Amino acid sequence: MSTKTKWYRLVALAALMPLAACSDVLSLNVEAPGRIADSDLNNADAIPGIVAGMSYDLTGAVNSSFESIFLAGGEIGHGGSYDFGAIPLGKFMTVPEDWNGEYSSMSQARWVAEAGLRRIAEILDPAQFEKDPNVAKAYLLGGLANRWMGEVQCRVTVDGGPDLPHTEDFARADSMFTRAIQVATAAGSSTALTNIVNAAYGGRASVRAWMGMWDQAVVDAAKVPTSFAWYTTFSTALQNDFWYETNTRHEFSLYNSMWATVTDDPRVVWDAPVDAKGQPLKGQDGQTIFYHQDKYNTLDAQLALTHGAEMRVLQAEAALRNNDYAGAEGYLNEARAKWNMAPLTLSTVPAEAWATLRYERYATLWLEGRRLWDMRRWKAEGAPMEDPFDQGRDLCFPISRNEALANLNVSSQWGGCTTCGS
């Protein structure tokens, strides 16, 4: 968020840096390594680095946006000192200036993947391109970047073009996931390639469901093992910001969320820390009781971008849409088995069955940034799918103010997102 100041982290980082020798500081005797010439990237040895950059930018896009998305979707509550405006209350459509950095980083992740693939296509001959493992991974990363943006945005832009329905990114993601499967399959059968194929099937299953192609979605989903997951790439160089804000600081709390009374679900793990006197700790605002999430507990803790348990719940939803209650129950229990949870019995009353499905999906994908989109798509279909929690809340983010000001093709101008929700 543009209003979320983190000057203290910059100070802390500076404090960790070794001091230069005084003579070097006074004389400014520092050798600049120089910029890498663009032409230097036009060789096969640079391809792994190009793809690593795509992965870094995708993780960066997630890192820049997921806290706001968590709050907007009610995955966790606020209890800190940062100003997130009315996002915790579900109000953010009319403040596109608060989405400048997030929209930029998401757009960058998409562009870097797609532009990188064009560059790689110029380096490799067509036969090599169609069976190169790095190409397969690049397509996967591009698909995930497009899906992330499509689920979050009301409308999207592509490379300075006009604003488009968010489903444009689903179509782009579908194409890229398909290419990832094709190239990875042609490249061989190593563990790394199998993981790319599994992740691409998982990504394609979700976007095909979102585009209404449920029959094709369940075919893809069935190919992803329940134990499988594809993650971000947080590291000491690109740290998981949410870990910092819920461990070093107390900016987010489950106290203000639907999970505050859920204490026995291994998918939603949290604790209620106390001080030396046995009193509940408070958030950074000094008022909100701090319930600490235990899902991300290291600075390089990874967020799953697609995984097998998600696929089982997707299959369960497809079955429930066809009034196949027994099938839906079976898939939900397959997902629950991953955490050694007892099987559930699914009601055959539609409203009750859908309430269970919503809970199971929310728990399975907790703190993965997917609930906001789920509420949006279910709201469009109405009862019994719709989540009552969505009442009065915005369910997607507008095109940023910076994009609207810089891109004259955008019809939704700053001051309000007049075409949001299309």
For 82-141, what is each residue's pLDDT tens digit? 999 999 999 999 889 999 999 999 999 999 999 999 999 999 999 999 999 999 999 999
What is the Cα–Cα distance from 147 to 165, expressed in whole angstroms? Answer: 13
Q: What is the per-residue pLDDT for 42?
A: 81
Least confident of 13-22, 158-167, 232-241, 313-322: 13-22
Q: Of residues 154 and 8, which shows the higher confidence score?
A: 154
pLDDT > 60? residue 22: no
| Percent of the chain's residues with pLDDT above 90 | 86
**Structure-block tokens of residue 93:** 């459509």
Q: Where are the domains of the chain?
A: 44-73+89-231+397-406, 308-387
CB 220 within 8 A of CB 181: no
Taking the C-alpha atoms of residue 326 and residue 299, their distance in angstroms, rounded to an integer, is 41
Whole-prediction pTM value? Answer: 0.90
Looking at residues 268-283, what average pLDDT do you find? 97
On average, the pLDDT of the chain sits at 91
pLDDT at 1 over 80: no
C-beta pairs of 233-239 under 8 Å, 24+ apart in sequence: 233/55, 233/56, 233/58, 233/59, 233/302, 234/59, 234/63, 234/299, 234/300, 234/301, 234/302, 234/303, 235/300, 236/299, 236/300, 238/56, 238/59, 238/60, 238/63, 239/299, 239/300
Q: What confidence score (pLDDT) does residue 94 get?
A: 87
Please identify, in words, the CATH class of the domain defined by 44-73+89-231+397-406.
Answer: mainly alpha
Q: What pLDDT sits at residue 36?
A: 62
**Phi, psi angles (nearest 5°) of residue 273:** -65, 150
Q: Which residue has the tokens 């109000």?
A: 91
Predicted pLDDT of residue 110: 98
Q: Read off the pLDDT of each residue in 399-413 and give the average, rounded to a whole number.
A: 86
Q: Give yes or no for residue 10 having a pLDDT over 90.
A: no
Question: What would the two tokens of residue 159 be?
Answer: 């490379």
DSSP one-letter code for 279:
P
pLDDT above 70 as % of the chain:
88
184: pLDDT strictly greater than 80: yes
Rounded average pLDDT over 322-334: 98
